[in-house]
Amino acid sequence: MARDLLLVVEIPGSRPMAPAQRCTLCRQTFFCGRGHVYSRKHQRQLKEALERLLPRVEAARKAIRAAQVERYVPEHERCCWCLCCGCEVREHLSHGNLTVLHGGLLEHLASPEHKKATNKFWWENKAEVQMKEKFLVTPQDYAR
């Protein structure tokens, strides 16, 4: 009764010539590979996205010196999209009925994962080097 029905079938045309890459900044699929990041459209999207994130990063940085603690409200559950890591990050840090404002984002910015992802992101997107430091928090920043 045992009949070998397992056949590996290669469907012609199922594999594209080059892997399609999706640009999360421009929200479009492109095939031209590396060249895309140099395009004016991509660089403009990148600048705008970084400028949107920057005020929240700056607020988190200020919280190093003067941590603000508030009574917990559901609004503190808010997340912030980290462009470099491509993930949601809790902006604030809640302990019971208290919230350390910007604590979540600050912890994220200081994490080695974020540093690694930021370096990769900057390299892949050919972003301005001077801008990078603004999106990183080093242990020295804490010590100051």
What does the binding site for Zn ion look like in residue numbers (CB under 5 A)? 23, 25-26, 42, 82, 84-85, 114
| Beta carbon of residue 119, minimum distance to Zn ion (angstroms, whole number) | 11
| Beta carbon of residue 83, minimum distance to Zn ion (angstroms, whole number) | 8
User: Which residue, among 116, 86, 90, has the nearest Cα to 102 in the 3D structure?
Assistant: 90
**Residue closer to Zn ion (CB basis): 47 or 72:** 47
**Residue closer to Zn ion (CB basis): 25 or 100:** 25
| Beta carbon of residue 39, minimum distance to Zn ion (angstroms, whole number) | 7
**Residue closer to Zn ion (CB basis): 64 or 72:** 64
| Beta carbon of residue 16, minimum distance to Zn ion (angstroms, whole number) | 19
Evaluate whether 84 touches 125 at the Cβ level (below 8 Å).
no
Handedness of CA 123, 129, 135, 139 (dihedral sign): positive
Sorted by sequence, the CB contacts under 8 Å of residue 64 that are 6+ apart come out as: 106, 137, 141, 142, 144
**Residue closer to Zn ion (CB basis): 84 or 100:** 84
Counting runs of H as helices and runs of E as strands, what totals does the chain give? 5, 7
